[in-house]
Amino acid sequence: MQHLSGAIYNWYRKNKRDLPWRQTSDPYKIWISEIILQQTRIDQGSSYYLKFTDTFPTIIDLANAPEDKVLKLWQGLGYYSRARNLHRAAKEIAEKYDGVFPSEYNNIRMLPGVGPYTAAAVASIAFQRPYPAVDGNVYRVLSRYFGIETPIDSTIGKKEFLELAETLIEGSDPGMHNQAFMEFGALQCTPKNPDCRNCPLQQSCYAVINKKVEFLPVKEKKTKQSTRYFYYYLIEQGDAIFMEKRIGNDIWKNLYQLPLTETQNALTDKQIIQQKIPALPSNTTFNVVSVSEAKKHILSHQIIWAKLIRVEISKDVTIENPFVKVNKKDISKFAVPRLLEIFLEAVDFNDKHDKY
């Protein structure tokens, strides 16, 4: 045990990356970084972290911000429930803790959107609480080093790995310990093609000795992806278009979108044009400007095939709630899903020759 931790600590001191959240002891900023990095690569997450902490330098700033502003800043990161929970948690800290980030693991764990890993990471790094932060990197290191074949996504596996991680963190500098193990998994003990020849643990690692590196860790559950078909209607009325806010417990909740039709199967262009266009009153006369090619957008559990249909209507057509009339020059002010942002970036409102 001591050899494992000691070797990783030495490796970490020599190889750790210079990341912006490692330059602060502010629990608020450490928490922001952990939430952003839950489902985001570090190279992408770093810029969002800097934008977020510049725009909302304190918990109070985040708590007082409109949700639309938070979602707009988050645009492009995906998994938008993280942003909504971040906002809710900031409000809770402002109200319950007078804007001071809680220092105890159990209180951190109770915040919206905070699971065992995030609570342990913040508690250990910001407050030196001895809680192991077990993420995918740590699962991989422990599974390979100790030869544990219990699936890491099973209830039994999570318990087994957590108990092992708790023994390893005892008597250490908890914040450094967790960061070292996570960094080691991210850079050295990588998911594919790890550099075992230059690993300080090669002579004692079960997976290296038994040639099982590529088989560990073990997962038992496979994510099933559903397929959805989205048809967005860019309804132009002079200098304006129409948008609506997504509601309900589905993807992209509270983000804005163009009027949308979803179908169970793909439609032909003829079917797209012939069907009822959302937002438009019955028997409305419209001109179809263009129909884009289908774009494939992959989420963790879903594959979305989407098309954008541009139509023009006359100025005497009235469109009512929940659709909002938006000036074309103001579209960028609204937080929209990345899929829709890609479509809108390709639209040329001047000559109608879109770059889909």
Same domain for 232 and 208: no
Q: What is the CATH number of the domain that holds 302?
A: 3.90.79.10
The answer to the question of residue 352 being in a domain is no
19-33 CB burial, b ≥16 within 10 A, e <16: eebeeeebbbbbbbb
Q: What is the mean pLDDT of the chain?
A: 92
Same domain for 160 and 128: yes
Average pLDDT over residues 72-77: 91
Same domain for 257 and 188: no
What's the domain count of the chain? 2
pLDDT for the residue numbered 248: 84
User: Which pLDDT tens digit goes with each residue over 208-252?
Assistant: 999 999 999 999 877 788 999 999 999 999 999 999 999 888 999
Query: Can 34 be counted among the known catalytic residues?
Result: yes
Same domain for 161 and 56: yes
pLDDT for the residue numbered 285: 87
Partners of 290 in the β-ladder: 310
The answer to the question of residue 355 being in a domain is no
The answer to the question of residue 153 being in a domain is yes
Q: What is the CATH number of the domain that holds 173?
A: 1.10.340.30
End residue of a domain, out of 162, 181, 215 = 215
Range of the domain at 189: 2-215
pLDDT for the residue numbered 2: 67
pLDDT for the residue numbered 181: 97
Q: How many helices (H) and strands (E) does the chain have?
A: 14, 8
Helix locations, 128-223, DSSP H: 136-146, 155-169, 174-187, 206-209
pLDDT above 90 for 149: yes
Same domain for 43 and 188: yes
CA distances (Å), origin 289, targets 235, 311, 347, 353: 10, 5, 11, 9
pLDDT for the residue numbered 105: 96
pLDDT for the residue numbered 1: 62
pLDDT for the residue numbered 301: 87
Q: Which of 89, 19, 84, 85 is nearest to 59 (CA)?
A: 89
Same domain for 53 and 170: yes
Same domain for 114 and 52: yes
Burial class (CB in 10 A: 0-12, 13-18, 19+), 312: middle
Helix locations, 228-289, DSSP H: 269-274
Same domain for 274 and 175: no
pLDDT for the residue numbered 270: 87
Tell me how far apart the alpha carbons of residues 287 and 199 are, in angstroms, rounded to a whole number: 64
The answer to the question of residue 220 being in a domain is no
The answer to the question of residue 38 being in a domain is yes
The answer to the question of residue 241 being in a domain is yes
Same domain for 197 and 50: yes
Same domain for 196 and 251: no
User: Which pLDDT tens digit goes with each residue over 21-48?
Assistant: 998 999 999 999 999 998 888 888 999 9
Same domain for 152 and 49: yes
pLDDT above 60 for 356: no
End residue of a domain, out of 215, 245, 261 = 215
Cα distance between the two ends of the chain: 56
The answer to the question of residue 69 being in a domain is yes
End residue of a domain, out of 215, 242, 277 = 215
The answer to the question of residue 114 being in a domain is yes
Same domain for 263 and 115: no
pLDDT above 80 for 316: yes
Q: Which of 34, 160, 183, 236 is catalytic?
A: 34
